[in-house]
Chains A and B, each alone.
Chain A
Amino acid sequence: MNKLLKLTALASLIFVAQSFAQDHSHHDMHKNQTANDHSNHTAMNAAEVSHSESVYQVDATWNTHKNSKLKLSELEGQPVIVSMIYGSCTTACPVLVHDVKRLYSKLDEDTKQQVKLVIVSFDTDRDTPEALADYVKQYQLNNDNWLFLNGSEQDIRTLATVLGVRYRQRPDGDFDHSNLITILDKQGLIVERIEGLSQPMEKPAKVVAKLVND
């Protein structure tokens, strides 16, 4: 116990020294902790991102749950709501998908026609297009606005980094990850980020509605 306390004290000292030595301006970001309550699933805070460069510069080819190929740049011209999950996740992920659904349901009928809802899986091995199609069916998301994407490990990590979604695979095969929903404008710029689970969707819905008319 003493040893642990000593460790804490020492470690704090290091961090104090460190925080004086570095610029913390870039840590000024969403710090939502509401998603950390899952005992077997750790939420990781999202990282900072560029808001001035299009996410569509990521030139990866994805497999959709409809078994077609897609480059994100093909989504240009409409607002996109994007989140990252993994299919075998039973804690935060269904909530994230439900959150995207809640956001979508707050849009007026006109706007609904003009947005895409994109869910990208962390799990390149297990979340095959077929598995993702099952997921879509299971959660009754079968409408043309939804796109569930499977990609290579390399491309998943690139996209996650660009979106500021942090994740890591644990030894048991599950993933720790940020709980983040990102709203992209028609050009693929990040305009709004919703971090944490079950967040209010009124403001994001307004953001999306405005993007449609921009």
Chain B
Amino acid sequence: MVKWLGVAGVLLSPLVLADPVLINGGTFKPPVLLDKERLSIEMESFMLDSTPVTNQEFLEFVIEQPQWQRDNIAALFHDGNYLKHWDNNTGFAKGKENEPVTYVSWFAAREYCSAQGGRLPSLNEWEYASVKYRQQQNISDDDYARNLFAWYSQPHSAKQQAVDPNADQLMHMHDRVNEWVDDYQLLLTNGDDVDLLSGSCGDGARFMSSFSNANYATFFRYQSRSDYAPQSATSTMGFRCAYDLENDHE
């Protein structure tokens, strides 16, 4: 709800903290195909947080909803590590305010977004936004691949860097934290026999649409996502929220 006031406000004043940005709809060519018959997907426009959700933002959420504080969260919804980097239920070390929140389970991330009047982005939405981001930032395919692999080799140094809560464009899609998506558990190997292209897995044939470095880097992200359980709360996993557009201009 809070965030939605912000979204209404952004039309008038661009200085509200970390307002979501508009991701214009268009054609998305998934780098990893979940449907053999769908080589491209028409995406609708939606809003996406410009940066990953920060410790400060998440703190405000757990203050309002104490059942999502560290000592109160239902055991079903985390793996025991939920917010373990915080000092207590409602506090973390000074200086961490603008760092992306981590040690949040998929359940908690969804609940946070729901409380903002949003939701987690779908996998396709997130990846579509990632493509847009690369275009906006003029990131070459090789740089993208190099940066992503660099992140995967040293994720801990990256996630401790702050984000700019005033960002007015899409930021930090690849250089802070891995991010939850709503339908991540539909992905590769999550509970499936790993039998690519044989068509014997539940989801049908799934494969990379082309074998460039950039696509391989992206595939790596798809793959690493599907290693998580919805209860996983880890040092490298954060999230940002998406918002349906139809709720916006009415």
Contact = CB atoms under 8 A, between A and B. Distances in A.
B148 to A, nearest CB: 15
B191 A29 contact: yes
A96 to B, nearest CB: 15
B246 interface: no
A46 B191 contact: yes
A7 B223 contact: no
B119 interface: yes
A5 B194 CA distance: 17
Interface in A5-46: 7-8, 10-12, 14-15, 18-19, 22, 26-27, 29, 31, 33, 36, 42-46
A168 interface: yes
Given A50-B76, A154-B119, A7 B203 contact: no
B208 A33 contact: no
Interface stretch (B18-26, B133-141, B153-161, B227-235): B227-235
Interface string B213-235: 00010010001000101110000
B94 interface: no
What is the interface of chain B mostly: helix, strand, loop, or mixed? loop
B114 interface: yes
Contact of A42 (B203, B223, B230): B203
B80 to A, nearest CB: 11
Given A7-B207, A47-B190, A154 B197 contact: no
Interface residues of A, number: 43
Nearest to A177: B202
Interface residues on B, range: 35 or more
B191 A55 contact: no
A38 to B, nearest CB: 11
B227 A22 contact: yes
B186 A162 contact: no
A11 B207 contact: yes
Interface in B153-199: 182-183, 185-186, 189-194, 196-197
Contacts of B231: 50
B116 to A, nearest CB: 13
Contact of A45 (B201, B207, B216): B201
B88 interface: no
Contacts of B203: 42, 44, 176
B77 interface: yes
B27 interface: no
A53 B80 CA distance: 12
B107 interface: yes
Contacts of A26: 229
Interface string B74-94: 111100000000000000000
A54 interface: yes
B76 A47 contact: no
Contacts of A12: 196-197
B3 interface: no
A61 interface: no
A166 interface: yes
Interface in B26-55: 35, 38
B106 interface: yes
Which 5 residue pairs of A and B lie closest in terms of their CB atoms, listed nearest first?
A44-B202, A47-B191, A57-B74, A53-B76, A57-B76
